[in-house]
């Protein structure tokens, strides 16, 4: 461990009093470049690290003026500093054999009789760390922008989906085939847009996650069985798994999504075939580790590694691979959201991602998740049969059930359903859908109006948007109404999921429905909530 400068001064001064040779021996043991100056700013000695930085073209000789050891552009600042002026933030050493000189961060230790020691720390690691932190801030800012766009876009898509379903319902049982086909194209386009928005939310770290303890080796092995037929015969899939029982806390479906996206990305990088390796291990970092796109903090990590032998990533585009909509293979139909989605999922799960790649040598992606030693609560969830990838949005959406055949609620005697949504077209569509399903509905545009309606007619179930104008959002409205009726079932609806929604998902009487939703999804969510919570919401209206 490095000793602070203030603790080195007494030792160095004592060593200098004993003999110059002892002092020079002390300098020689320093790992960073160091030089010893006399009172006239001439060289008295230096260490091996300084000689290595300068190269053989500039031998260190006693009596050499200090200015000759530094590049011409740094000499004026150096002389001002040695004369009592401000410490320069950085200096450049003289160039070895015509190469750019090393940029260093200078520190000075004063010695008796006007002498001094200059310690010269390589600035490159600190500059790299600063660049990584700036890149992390930039990605976070992009995530905030993506989340805001996704929220507004989800409201628009909800209206488009609802209006298309309403129009299809009005066509009756024997619609004009051409008109029905046009409406189906509208619906499918809206569904593809919804899938893209879900990827934006993943990148922005605003998904609703259901994390649980997952045995990592088991999850990777099960996912590997799904990947083998997708990779094709030309790509060999290799598993290198650490000791069994390694646990991570993550949403199992999102872990599958991460593996699927990374595997499909690797497949595209190996068109002639190759090897894809999935490996698990542990890592103990005693200090932050520089990485791309951001430094990895010190700590105990469980590591999931994905390696391929593909073409590699050119260094000029490597810093951009986690940007949303950035793709180096537009001709292959990708949306550019695959790695952005992976980055968002990993960060929202408390982990970090690190990428290393060289053209022609393949790519290595490490995912570091916080290590946990707690016992698993049960067997891991099996991988989903169909997982979204970067290319999934190019595929046509499957037909949704006709809203007329959506699951119907079975309300008995009781209060009305209170619907709160500030988007007027969406509120009208949801109200019509719920009334057709047999629910008596009170509709409000904000929390204040909802509280006024609830005071006159206490609701038996609340369906509310999360983000609303005014001082009270959906979760706050739910808490206010539950102060009057603690058993009130609540369905929160939103285009994205703040942490208050995620925390509430553990409540048996609280559910979350992501926008955009179909009429069938809305009625099914309400019916399920009423069934679980034992709600009764009035008699069906005729």
Q: Return the CATH architecture of domain 5-122.
A: 2-Layer Sandwich (3.30)
List strands edge to edge, sheet with 362-370.
235-240, 274-285, 299-308, 362-370, 352-358
Q: What is the pLDDT of residue 408?
A: 45
pLDDT over 50 (residue 495): yes
- Residues carrying CATH 3.30.450.20, the chain: 5-122
List CB contacts of 164: < 8 A, sequence separation 6 or more: 183, 186, 187, 190
- CATH number for 126-203 (one of 1.10.287.130, 2.60.120.1130, 1.20.120.1230, 1.10.10.10): it is 1.10.287.130
Q: Against a cut of 0.75, is the pTM above it?
A: no
**341 with 232: CB under 8 angstroms?**
no
Q: What is the pLDDT of residue 301?
A: 95
pLDDT over 60 (residue 407): no
List CB contacts of 294: < 8 A, sequence separation 6 or more: 132, 133, 135, 136, 139, 352
Distance CA 445, CA 423 (A): 7
Distance CA 539, CA 415 (A): 9
- For residue 490, which of 515, 454, 526 has the smallest C-alpha distance? 526
- CATH number for 212-377 (one of 3.40.30.120, 3.30.565.10, 3.40.640.10, 3.40.50.300): it is 3.30.565.10
List CB contacts of 427: < 8 A, sequence separation 6 or more: 419, 421, 443, 445
Provide the sign of the torsion angle of the four alpha carbons 313, 317, 322, 326, taken in this order: negative
Percent of the chain with pLDDT over 90: 23
pLDDT over 60 (residue 380): no
Q: How does residue 95 score in pLDDT terms, banded at 50, 70 and 90? A: confident
Q: What's the mean pLDDT in 141-155?
A: 66
Q: What is the pLDDT of residue 395?
A: 39
- Of residues 238 and 394, more confidence is placed in 238
Q: DSSP characters for 247-280?
A: EEEE-HHHHHHHHHHHHHHHHHH-TT-EEEEEEE
Distance CA 486, CA 476 (A): 14
Minimum mean pLDDT among 1-15, 269-283, 386-400, 437-451: which range?
A: 386-400
pLDDT in tens, 188-198: 887 777 766 66
Q: What's the mean pLDDT in 83-96?
A: 83
- Residues carrying CATH 1.10.287.130, the chain: 126-203
Q: CA angle, 331 as apex, 329 and 334 as ends, to 5°?
A: 60
The neighbouring-strand residues paired with 92 are 103
pLDDT in tens, 308-352: 999 998 888 888 888 776 666 655 545 556 788 888 889 888 899
- Residues carrying CATH 3.40.50.2300, the chain: 403-533
Distance CA 472, CA 489 (A): 19
- Of residues 118 and 505, more confidence is placed in 118
Q: Return the CATH architecture of domain 403-533.
A: 3-Layer(aba) Sandwich (3.40)
The mean pLDDT value of the chain amounts to: 78
- What is the DSSP secondary structure assignment for residue 446, as one 8-state letter? S
- Taking phi first (over 0 means left), then psi (-120 to 50 degrees means alpha), and beta for anything else, what does residue 470 get? left
- Residues carrying CATH 3.30.565.10, the chain: 212-377
Q: DSSP characters for 41-69?
A: SBEEEE-HHHHHHH-TTS---TT-BGGGG
List the structure tokens of 468. 């609303």
């Amino acid at each position: 461990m490095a000793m602070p400068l203030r603790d080195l001064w007494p030792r160095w001064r004592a060593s200098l009093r004993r003999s110059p040779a002892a002092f020079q021996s002390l300098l020689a043991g320093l790992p960073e470049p160091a030089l010893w100056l006399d009172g006239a700013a001439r060289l008295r000695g230096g260490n091996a690290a300084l000689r290595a930085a300068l190269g053989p073209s500039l031998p260190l000789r006693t009596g050499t003026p200090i200015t000759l050891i530094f590049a011409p552009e740094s000499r004026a600042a150096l002389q001002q500093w040695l004369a009592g002026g401000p410490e320069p933030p950085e200096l450049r050493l003289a160039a070895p054999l015509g190469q750019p000189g090393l940029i260093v961060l200078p520190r000075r230790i004063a010695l008796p009789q006007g002498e001094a020691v200059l310690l010269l720390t390589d600035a490159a690691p600190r500059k790299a760390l600063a660049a990584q932190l700036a890149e992390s801030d930039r990605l976070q800012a992009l995530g905030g922008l993506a989340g805001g766009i996704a929220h507004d876009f989800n409201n628009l898509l909800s209206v488009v989906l609802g209006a298309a379903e309403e129009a299809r319902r009005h066509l009756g049982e024997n619609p004009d085939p051409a008109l029905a086909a046009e409406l189906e194209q509208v619906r499918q386009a809206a569904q593809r847009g919804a899938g893209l928005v879900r990827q934006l939310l993943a990148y922005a770290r605003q998904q609703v996650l259901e994390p649980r303890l997952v045995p990592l080796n088991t999850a990777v092995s099960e996912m590997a069985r799904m990947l083998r037929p997708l990779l094709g015969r030309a790509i060999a899939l290799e598993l290198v798994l650490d000791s069994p029982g390694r646990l991570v806390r993550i949403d199992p479906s999102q872990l599958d999504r991460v593996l699927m996206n990374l595997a499909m990305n690797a497949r595209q990088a190996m068109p002639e075939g190759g090897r894809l390796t999935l490996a698990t291990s542990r890592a103990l970092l005693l200090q932050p580790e520089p990485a791309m796109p951001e430094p990895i903090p010190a700590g105990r990590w469980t590591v999931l590694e994905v390696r391929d032998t593909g073409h590699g990533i050119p260094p000029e585009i490597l810093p951009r691979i986690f940007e949303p909509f950035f793709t180096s293979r537009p001709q292959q139909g990708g949306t550019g959201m695959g790695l952005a989605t992976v980055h968002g999922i990993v960060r929202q799960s408390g982990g970090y991602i690190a990428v290393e790649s060289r053209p022609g040598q393949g790519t290595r992606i490490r995912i570091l998740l916080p290590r946990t030693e707690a016992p698993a609560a049960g067997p891991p969830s099996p991988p989903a049969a169909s997982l979204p990838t970067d290319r999934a949005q190019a595929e046509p959406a499957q037909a949704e059930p006709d809203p007329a055949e959506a699951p119907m609620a079975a309300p008995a005697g009781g209060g009305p359903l209170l619907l709160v949504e500030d988007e007027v077209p969406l509120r009208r569509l949801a109200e019509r859908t719920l009334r057709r399903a047999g629910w008596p509905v009170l509709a409000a545009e904000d929390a204040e109006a909802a509280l006024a309606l609830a005071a006159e007619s206490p609701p038996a179930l609340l369906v509310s948007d999360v983000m609303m104008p005014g001082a009270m959002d959906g979760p706050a409205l739910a808490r206010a109404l539950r102060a009057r009726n603690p058993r009130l079932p609540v369905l929160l609806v939103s285009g994205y999921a703040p942490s208050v929604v995620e925390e509430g998902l553990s409540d048996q009487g609280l559910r979350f429905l992501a926008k955009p939703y179909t009429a069938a999804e809305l009625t099914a969510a309400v019916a399920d909530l009423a069934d679980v919570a034992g709600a009764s919401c009035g008699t069906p209206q005729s």
